[in-house]
Amino acid sequence: MTKIDTIVLIDCYEHSTLGPKFDKEQHKAFYYELTSNLSQLIKTCNVDNLILSAYGSNHETTHASTDLIIKSLSPLDIARHSMYSVEENTSYFHNKNVMVGGVSLHSCVKSRPLGLRTLFDNYPVKGVYSFPGIVGFYGPVGSTIDSLYAETKIPLKITMATNLDFETQLHEHWVQQDEIYPHSHIYSFRKDYT
């Protein structure tokens, strides 16, 4: 089993503070599922650090913080930190296997300062990983919250990523690794992504 040193969760904002474009109750259910998967990963992959990275939360001090479900139900014996960039504490990243999850797979999880591409391109990490069970998204590649809401006028639900999403939408980026649950795999980010 791949040893994961650090898991980063990006932009998993408190469901009760989401605006009218979002289905708050569905987000709540999503966060319960994400937290269950996160807890399993922490145990299975012997994770040392959990980084909460809700951009705009002023290090988890504002209403735009990481959801309380995640904070209260994830394993308490793991070191937790709030960070927005590697420079805040390189020891959690340098020569470490880092897993990235959160919302949204096609944008924030990829491109934030602690996102997949930034970590992979700019820092001496050992490996960059993700797991569908800790990643959500709202729509297809290229869609935005505003465009999706404008189409339907219905509060948006978040979708938990699956192996199929990783393999069909992002197939050029990933190599399938260890199986965590039946048919649920850890994926590593490849060097030859486009």
Distance CA 50, CA 6 (A): 6
Query: Which residue matches tokens 């145990």?
Result: 43
Looking only at the bridges linking them, the beta strands covering 97-103 and 127-130 are: parallel
The two structure tokens encoding residue 65: 């913080």
Residues lower than pLDDT 70 in the chain: 169-174, 179-183, 189-194
Digit-coded pLDDT (tens) for 145-174? 999 999 999 999 999 998 888 777 665 566
pLDDT for the residue numbered 193: 43
Query: Closest Cα partner for 15 from 64, 55, 58?
Result: 64
The two structure tokens encoding residue 3: 């040893």
The two structure tokens encoding residue 117: 């591409």
Looking only at the bridges linking them, the beta strands covering 184-189 and 174-181 are: antiparallel
pLDDT for the residue numbered 20: 95
Distance CA 15, CA 130 (A): 23
Query: Closest Cα partner for 44 from 152, 134, 139, 111?
Result: 134
Digit-coded pLDDT (tens) for 28-48? 999 999 999 999 999 999 999
Distance CA 56, CA 63 (A): 9
Distance CA 104, CA 112 (A): 10
Query: Closest Cα partner for 49 from 72, 74, 80, 88?
Result: 80
pLDDT for the residue numbered 143: 87
pLDDT for the residue numbered 85: 92
| SS3 (DSSP) at 96 | coil
Amino acid at 29: A
Domains along the chain with CATH numbers = 6-189 (3.40.50)
Query: Closest Cα partner for 129 from 187, 169, 171, 179?
Result: 187
pLDDT for the residue numbered 171: 52
Q: Phi/psi of residue 7, each to 5°?
A: -110, 130
